[in-house]
Amino acid sequence: MRYILRERVKAGIAHARKEGRPHGRPDTAQQKAADVRKLHRQRLSKSEIARRLGIGRKSCGASWADTLERNRAWNED
């Protein structure tokens, strides 16, 4: 019984992908990365930034890490 459900879910996902519809959770942290950087420049903590933007604290850290990595790459060139 369970395998039938699994097959139907996989078929539905494959059908959606074929039609070009997105699947999975949206990257809300990536969409708000600019806001995270802006608030970070204002010296707010990760917890406060996460509260204000409605995202997880770890997501703020990931946005920071991505920004720091880009800055390092930019400075090395």
Nearest to 59 by CA among 74, 75, 39: 39
Comparing 19 with 70, which gets the higher pLDDT? Answer: 19
Domain count of the fold of the chain: 1
pTM of the model: 0.53
Give per-residue pLDDT as tens, 20-69: 988 887 777 778 888 988 888 898 888 899 899 988 888 877 666 666 66
Distance in angstroms (rounded) separating the CA atoms of residues 48 and 55: 10
Distance in angstroms (rounded) separating the CA atoms of residues 12 and 17: 9
The boundaries of the domain holding residue 48 are 2-76
Q: In this structure, are residues 35 and 53 in contact, taking their beta carbons and an 8 Å threshold?
A: yes
